[in-house]
Amino acid sequence: MAGCNPPGHRTPKSQGEWELKDNDVILRMTDITKSFGGVNALTDVSLSVNRGQVHGIVGENGAGKSTLMNVLSGVWPHGSFEGTIEFDGKTADYRSINDSERDGIVIIHQELALSPHLSIAENIFLGNERASHGIIDWNETNEDARVLLERVGLMEAPTTPIIQLGVGKQQLVEIAKAFSKEVKLLILDEPTAALNDEDSAHLLGLISGLRDHGITCIIISHKLAEIRAISDTITVLRDGKTVETFSMKDKDNSESRMIRSMVGRSLDNLYPPRTPKIGDEVLRVENWNVYHPVDTQRKVVDDASFTVRAGEIVGMAGLMGAGRTELAMSLFGRRYGTKISGRVFKNGDEVSTRTVNDAIDNGIAYITEDRKRFGLNLIGTVAANISGAGLSSLSKWGVIDLHDEAAEAERLRTALNIKTDTVVKLVGKLSGGNQQKVLLAKWLHTLPDVLLLDEPTRGVDVGAKYEIYGLINELAGEGKAMVVISSELSELLGICDRIYTISEGRITGQRDRKDATQENLMELMTLGGK
């Protein structure tokens, strides 16, 4: 890592010369409160980061980690939140990400911000071109990029298009880009979520090298073992609030401590009562494998097998990037992935789910996690959305019977208590909870025996959640086989009969409801793959 600063920039002191003191604070965020639509995503969060150290931030999905970093970096500008930020000894009132970058704060988001068809060098200096009188000096651009790539350990030609690189190498390009901006504080949001073990180890080694050369890092990750291995200090967030900050020098710095802090909340009475009536096996998936659709060497679902019985609600728990959605989408008509293999059985007989029509014909429905993008036509009516997945039952000779369509939509509107005065209302005019119920009605119209529900209560209020839980219970009571994917462990514990855990594409265990706790599920969810 010698000389990891970019060419032409300030040379850091050599390793061993940095005088790091516990009270040498480079960043102090105090009482940060950020609201969206009247709901607090952050409430009085405070964070102090010491210069030249790696500071880990952990918390469940939705805890506020990324929102806090977006506040810091100017994605959410000064004035859109409450609280104060001090960076490198002065008040930081950033109104854009350009402001924070000028001060040396660079954030690398989980979704990498690289242009796939530009070269490595072009991406590194995009917006910071090596140019004179408006003319780019390509020799200087490529040479400076080569030096930066060497310093992050990436032996690729600067002229290589980004699209030819795997995710691990793209992460290194992002870090090289950060070096070109004279970075003082590097923020990495889930940097190893999509990486294999080898790429993860290389990236963590690079982060450790940055610390050795005085660059401060904040790393957000669900991989608790990695956080413990790389961090000097760890802050835990839960429900948009700071729970605790502790040093890795503390005697109790275990993963168990982090897990207790991350999930330490009660379920209360948020879930309707239910007495399960579980019958015979309906769905069995054996040895299911899925590879990434672009990076075809990366396996995202690895030899997964699971079963669901009639009347049973089965949960799928996993951290961001674990492969839960990829598993469900690949099962439903192979809507995700490549080189898919494995077997699917319905009521004991092997069935094909190679296409969406195959899946529907075999009684399988998938309720997407992103209703606005993939599930609903927001400028279409309630009736048109409900009928969309099963038009053949409402049409003859390719012509839809609008009377039958309206009658079916009205039946499901009443059954699911969709709050709208008419089924010809545009779906985009409904609340999030009612949109979610329209999406559920769309698939109930196909008369499925198996429902794969991906984040069924995402983006809805507490009252609508309770109604959706009630609908899930009713469907299970009718003998449907239910699979619920959720980022909220409390939700899975509140409604499921059994819960599978997924980590790095592999099913790492299962727990019956009576034996499951947030702590033992989190332990299984943070196990590494093979």
Supply the CATH number for residue 119's domain. 3.40.50.300
Q: Residue 149: what pLDDT?
A: 92
Does position 99 have pLDDT exceeding 90, yes or no?
A: yes
Listed in sequence order, the residues at least 6 apart from 209 whose beta carbon sits closer than 8 Å to its beta carbon are 1, 4
**Range 512-524 average pLDDT:** 92
Burial letters for 387-419: b for 16+ Cβ neighbours within 10 Å, e otherwise?
A: bbbbeeebeeeeeeeeeebbebbbebbeebebe
- Over residues 465-488, the mean pLDDT reads 91
Asked if residues 163 and 117 have their Cβ atoms less than 8 Å apart, the reply is yes
Average pLDDT over the chain reads: 86
430 and 328 within one domain: no
Question: What is the pLDDT at residue 166?
Answer: 77
Amino acid at 100: S
Whether 233 and 297 share a structural domain: no
Alpha carbons 216 and 27: distance in angstroms, whole number: 10
Task: Look at residue 27 and tell me whether its pLDDT is greater than 60.
Answer: yes
* Contacts by 12-16, CB closer than 8 A, 24 or more apart: 12/213, 12/214, 12/215, 13/213, 13/214, 15/212, 15/213
If asked whether residues 325 and 466 sit together in one domain, one would say: yes
pLDDT value for 251: 83
Q: pLDDT at residue 181 above 90?
A: no
Report CA torsion sign: 393, 308, 285, 325: positive
Which pLDDT belongs to residue 8? 33
Quickly state the pLDDT bin for 528 (edges 50, 70, 90).
low
Q: Other C-beta atoms within 10 Å of 422: how many?
A: 12
pLDDT of residue 175: 87
Q: Are 276 and 310 in contact (CB under 8 A)?
A: no
Q: pLDDT at residue 6 above 50?
A: no
Q: Is residue 74 part of a domain?
A: yes
Higher pLDDT, 186 or 3: 186
Asked if 160 and 242 sit in the same domain, the reply is yes
Residues 381 and 292 in one domain: no
Q: What pLDDT, on the 0 to 100 scale, is given for residue 466? A: 80
> For 76-91, what is each residue's pLDDT tens digit?
999 999 999 999 999 9
User: pLDDT at position 253, please?
Assistant: 81
Q: What is the reported pLDDT for 20? A: 43
Is residue 104 in a domain? yes
Tokens 């180890």: give the residue: 201
Last residue of a domain, one of 446, 473, 508: 446
pLDDT tens digits for range 419-435: 888 999 999 888 777 88
- Region 338-367 average pLDDT: 95
Rounded to whole angstroms, the Cα distance separating 256 from 523 reads 8
Q: Which helix (H) or strand (E) holds 217?
A: strand 216-220
Q: pLDDT at position 194, please?
A: 60
Q: What mean pLDDT comes out for the span 372-392? A: 87
Looking at 446, 468, 490, the residue that finishes a domain is 446
pLDDT of 321 reads 75
pLDDT at 197: 61
Displacement of CA 104 from its chain's centroid (Å): 27
**Domain assignment present for 15:** no
445 pLDDT higher than 80: yes
What confidence category does residue 463 fall into, taking pLDDT thresholds of 50, 70 and 90? low
Residue 404 has pLDDT above 90, yes or no: no
**Number of neighbouring beta carbons within 10 Å of residue 276:** 14
Residues 229 and 317 in one domain: no
pTM of model > 0.85: no
Query: Average pLDDT for residues 180-202, to the nearest whole number?
Result: 79
Do 482 and 437 share a structural domain? no
The predicted structure's pLDDT at residue 351:
96
- Domain end, chosen from 398, 420, 446, is at 446
Q: Does one domain contain both 355 and 427?
A: no
Closest CA to 470 of 415, 404, 394: 415
The pLDDT > 70 percentage for the chain reads 91
Query: Sign of dihedral through CA atoms 132, 138, 139, 141?
Result: positive
Q: How many structural domains is the chain composed of?
A: 3
In a shared domain, residues 342 and 486: yes
Using the predicted structure, report yes or no on whether residue 121 has a pLDDT greater than 60: yes
Q: Looking at the predicted structure, is the pLDDT value of residue 236 above 90? A: yes
User: Quick one: which H or E segment has residue 58?
Assistant: strand 54-58
The answer to the question of residue 16 being in a domain is: no
pLDDT reading at 529 higher than 70: no
End-to-end CA distance of the chain: 29
Q: In which domain, by residue range, is 416 found?
A: 376-446
Please tell me which residue, 431 or 502, carries the higher pLDDT value. 502
Per-residue confidence at 191, pLDDT binned at 50, 70, 90? confident
Q: Same domain for 457 and 432?
A: no
* Per-residue pLDDT, 267: 42
Query: Which residues, in sequence order, are CB contacts of 96 under 8 Å at separation 6+?
Result: 74, 77
Classify residue 271: in a domain, yes or no. no
Domain presence at residue 6: no
What percent of the chain shows pLDDT beyond 90? 50
Instruction: State mean pLDDT over 161-188.
Output: 87
| Mean pLDDT value across residues 49-78 | 89
Residue 5 covered by a domain: no
d(CA 249, CA 145): 38
Question: Could you give the 3-state DSSP secondary structure of residue 335?
Answer: coil
Residues 335 and 468 in one domain: yes
pLDDT digits (tens, 9 = 90+) for 165-178: 877 788 889 888 88
Q: Is residue 11 part of a domain?
A: no
The mean per-residue pLDDT over the stretch 41-70 comes to 90
Instruction: Verify that 329 and 441 share a domain, yes or no.
Output: no
